[in-house]
């Protein structure tokens, strides 16, 4: 496995690599969810292709006061995960390489990025789009793999890729969960034992709301109230948001009459968790 430490090395690697190249962009602190993304990338690339994992804690997607400084950094373990799951190279640039002095260009998706997490974290998706566009331009992957846990991020990146005619296939991978349902996230390691116990009620509340929809409920206010009340009662924290949105446009719905996503965020102590579930209308029409 090659370690690519600079933009020059990464760009050079691409020109000599066999096709196709599949990229897994990460911020490190890799867990089994990332491992599943790397496995999927390996499958997509096949024997002839090349899998590159980027590990870069991107400062521009953190607002002042967020957890940039304490974001978990576990490089040695991350390298081991990449190696064991068949990555061919790991790209680990410095912040100065990605944002050199004088860097003054941003990439912003202006529609899908507005609600949900975008409302609570202004500028977050601008940082994500800017770094992902840079990674795409440096490595020129054929395919890039993203997890569905960050559903809005996935939608925003798909839209950016489409709008900017970036020649990259965006591949989604289902959320990987712990045995009690909690979606795997690098931020789960911030939780202490009490927080971790409270956290398991978060996905459970979303599942209860989905069960209500599966029983025929189409009123979005009733579905989201079930989720909101369950999250508040189970985790001891009122959610930052609970919304049922159109799966494509991310626009809030009033009736569950199309393919939708139930998305939520909650803070348990200092730890902000997000999750989402797909919901279909009761008659199955999507
Ligand atoms: O999902 C993440 O880890 C990050 O937002 C990403 C896509 C690697 C961009 O920094």
**pLDDT of residue 174 exceeding 80:** yes
Report the nearest atom of ligand 1 relative to the CA of 27. 3
Which residue has the CA at smallest separation from atom 3 of ligand 1?
26
CB 143 within 8 A of CB 41: yes
279 Cα to the center of ligand 1, angstroms? 25
Gap between the Cα atoms of 172 and 249, Å rounded: 17
Of all residues in the chain, the percent with pLDDT exceeding 90 is 95
User: CA-based angle 250:259:133, to the nearest 5?
Assistant: 40
Of all residues in the chain, the percent with pLDDT exceeding 70 is 98
User: For residue 282, what pLDDT band results from cuts at 50, 70 and 90?
Assistant: confident
Q: What is the pLDDT of residues 180-193, one digit of tens each?
A: 999 999 999 999 99
- Cα–Cα distances (Å) from 39 to 33, 72, 146, in that order, read 10, 22, 12
**pLDDT of residue 102 exceeding 80:** yes
Residues of the chain with CATH 3.40.50.620: 2-173
> What mean pLDDT is predicted for residues 251-265?
98
Which residue has the CA at smallest separation from atom 6 of ligand 1?
26
77 Cα to the center of ligand 1, angstroms? 18
Which residue has the CA at smallest separation from atom 9 of ligand 1?
128
Mutate to test the pocket of ligand 1, among 150, 154, 185, 187 (most ligand atoms within 8 A of CB): 150
Residues touching ligand 1 (Cβ under 6 Å) are: 25-27, 58, 61, 128, 131-132, 150, 153
The mean predicted confidence, pLDDT, of the chain is 96
Q: Is 7 helix (H, G, I), strand (E, B) or coil?
A: helix
> What mean pLDDT is predicted for residues 275-280?
97
**Residue that is written with structure tokens 């400062």 in the block:** 59
Residues of the chain with CATH 3.30.1300.10: 186-278
Report the nearest atom of ligand 1 relative to the CA of 150. 1
Mutate to test the pocket of ligand 1, among 106, 153, 170 (most ligand atoms within 8 A of CB): 153
Tell me which residues are annotated as active site: 34
Q: Which fold has domain 186-278?
A: 3.30.1300
Number of C-beta neighbours around residue 157 at 10 A: 26
Report the nearest atom of ligand 1 relative to the CA of 57. 10
Any residues with CB less than 8 A from the CB of 108 and at least 6 apart, and which? 125, 126, 129, 130
Structure tokens at 241: 């948001």
Specify the pLDDT at position 179. Answer: 97
25 Cα to the center of ligand 1, angstroms? 6
Burial class (CB in 10 A: 0-12, 13-18, 19+), 181: middle
User: For residue 65, what pLDDT band results from cuts at 50, 70 and 90?
Assistant: very high
Sheet of 260-268: strand order equals 241-246, 260-268, 271-279
Q: Which fold has domain 2-173?
A: Rossmann fold (3.40.50)
Specify the pLDDT at position 18. Answer: 59
């Amino acid at each position: 496995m090659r370690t690519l430490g600079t933009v020059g090395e990464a760009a050079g690697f691409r020109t000599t690599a066999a096709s196709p190249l599949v990229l897994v962009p990460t911020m490190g602190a890799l867990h089994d969810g990332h491992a599943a993304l790397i496995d999927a990338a390996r499958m997509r690339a096949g024997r002839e292709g090349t899998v590159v994992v980027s590990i870069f804690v991107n400062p521009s997607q953190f607002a002042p006061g967020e957890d940039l400084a304490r974001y978990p950094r576990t490089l040695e373990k991350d390298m081991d995960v990449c190696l064991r799951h068949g990555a061919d190279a790991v790209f680990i640039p410095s912040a100065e390489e990605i944002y050199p002095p004088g860097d003054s260009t941003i990439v912003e998706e202006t529609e899908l990025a507005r609600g949900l997490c975008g409302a609570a974290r202004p500028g977050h998706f601008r940082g994500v789009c800017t770094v992902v566009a840079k990674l795409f331009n440096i490595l020129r992957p054929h395919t890039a793999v993203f997890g569905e846990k960050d559903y809005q991020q996935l939608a925003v990146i798909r839209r950016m890729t489409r709008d900017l005619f970036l020649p990259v296939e965006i591949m989604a991978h289902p959320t990987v969960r712990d045995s009690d349902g909690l979606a795997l996230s690098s931020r789960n390691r911030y939780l202490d034992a009490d927080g971790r116990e409270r956290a398991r009620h978060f996905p459970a509340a979303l599942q209860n709301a989905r069960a209500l929809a599966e029983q025929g409920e189409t009123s979005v206010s009733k579905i989201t109230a079930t989720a909101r009340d369950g999250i508040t009662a189970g985790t001891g924290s009122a959610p930052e948001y609970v919304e049922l949105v159109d799966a494509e446009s991310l626009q809030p719905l009033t009736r569950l009459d199309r393919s939708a996503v139930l998305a939520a965020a909650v803070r348990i102590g200092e730890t902000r968790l997000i999750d989402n579930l797909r919901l279909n209308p009761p008659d199955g029409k999507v």
